[in-house]
Amino acid sequence: MTLALARLLFAAVSMLSVADNYDDWQRANRAALELDATARLRYLSRSYQRDFGNLARVDFLRKSTVDEVRLVYRASAGMTLTTHDEKKLDDASRAFDELAARQALSDFERATQYRLLVALRHFDAAAAFARSNPSQRFESLPAIDDSRGCCTDSRPQLLFIDSSQRLQRRSAPAASIVVVAHPLCHFTQNAIHDIEKDAALASALEKSWLWIAPQDGYLSLDAFETWNSEHPHARMSIAYRQSEWPMAAIWDTPTFYFFRNGAIVASVHGWPAEGHLAELRDDAKKIGLAIP
């Protein structure tokens, strides 16, 4: 009885404050940017739980206005893309279904839902979703060899991009330098241009590095193909699941991680106009690479 009353009271208060909760959530996202990446994820999870943990329930959503359901959807979708957590995808999907039941879905929400399915690697569900929304222009899914038997070892997995725009899920090769990057990130582009101008450094690093892009809901294969043809010694693949990697929390682009005996011993973050070539040289020496 007490629990039921408490729930009723909570629902009543929440109904009045979804917009406020979303504002809190937006402020938390902004504040999180000031934190280091590991703390950022923890802080965002706590904030989401506080602001939306109890709002993405079917009974609450049914009593909410369309605008309120939209905000619940937006927050839970954002959190799904940040954490790649299936439970957050469930939250987002409940809000999505409620909007669909009221015929209130916008193209933004349809596109976002497709993106969530791709980001969490539910490729079959994404393809089915695209088929059931024929009027929408989603980024088309390439042929994906996503066979579960692909990776029998415990290594992190990657989506490798071949020249005919096919994706192949494979175990990542061993590498003592992992570069988190993205072909559409301007700072990533500046980094590779500066490194390639320093032929001696590039030649020393390219034997040891592995370029990977974050787990995301956009595959952007054209951008990867262009990158891979322009930078054949720094071919980029896509992380299948970020959580499999030792630097699980920090996926800012570009970031250079230097590994020794499986542990991160140094990292270089970002690429300002003056570059970070000296730092790359120093850190490469720390892991025993001979840099001329």
Partner 1 sequence: MKFRIVAFAAVTSIFRANFASAGESVDMDAVASAQDHQLENQARIDYAIAAIRSDEDLHRFLASAQSIDSPLNALSESSRRRFLSSLRFNDKGLTSFAYADLETELTPTQIYRVLKLFGAEHDAAFFSRAHIETDDDVKIMDMPRTPIDYRDYECAKRATCTQSNFSICTGNC
Instruction: Choose among 52, 46, 39: nearest CA to 10.
Output: 52
The 10 Å Cβ neighbour count of residue 10 is 13
Read off the DSSP letter of residue 197: H
Give the burial class of 245: count Cβ atoms within 10 A of its Cβ; 0-12 exposed, 13-18 middle, 19 or more buried: buried
- Binding partner 1 (rule: CB under 8 A), the pick from 58, 100, 108, 199 is 108
Nearest distance, CB of residue 154 and partner 1, angstroms = 25
Nearest distance, CB of residue 59 and partner 1, angstroms = 24
Nearest distance, CB of residue 111 and partner 1, angstroms = 5
Instruction: Choose among 248, 240, 245, 220: nearest CA to 123.
Output: 240
**Helix or strand run (H / E) with residue 178:** strand 177-180
Nearest distance, CB of residue 184 and partner 1, angstroms = 6
Residues 1-20, one symbol each (x = binds partner 1 by CB under 8 A, - = not), give: ------------------x-
For residues 212 and 236, the answer to whether their CB atoms sit within 8 Å is yes
Q: Is 26 in the site for partner 1 (CB under 8 A)?
A: yes
Task: Give CA–CA dist 71/280, Å, rounded.
Answer: 43
2-32 and 37-52 helices, crossing angle to 10°: 150
**Helix or strand run (H / E) with residue 260:** strand 255-260
Number of residues that bind partner 1 (CB under 8 A): 44
Question: Residue 283 has which token pair?
Answer: 């850190």
| Binders of partner 1 in range 173-202 (CB under 8 A) | 182, 184-187, 189-190
Q: Which residue, 270 or 289, is less far from partner 1 as judged by CB?
A: 270
Q: Is 39 in the site for partner 1 (CB under 8 A)?
A: no
Task: Give CA–CA dist 154/37, Å, rounded.
Answer: 25
Bridge-based pairing of strands 166-171 and 236-239 is: unpaired
Q: Is 84 in the site for partner 1 (CB under 8 A)?
A: no
| Binders of partner 1 in range 231-270 (CB under 8 A) | 251-255, 269-270
Nearest distance, CB of residue 106 and partner 1, angstroms = 5
Q: Which amino acid is at 284?
A: A
| Binders of partner 1 in range 63-82 (CB under 8 A) | 67, 70, 74, 77-78, 81-82
From 24-32, 58-66, 149-157, 280-288, span contacting partner 1 (CB under 8 A): 24-32
Nearest distance, CB of residue 74 and partner 1, angstroms = 6
Residues that bind partner 1 (CB under 8 A): 19, 22-23, 26-27, 29-30, 33-34, 37, 67, 70, 74, 77-78, 81-82, 106-108, 110-111, 137, 182, 184-187, 189-190, 214, 216, 218, 230, 251-255, 269-273
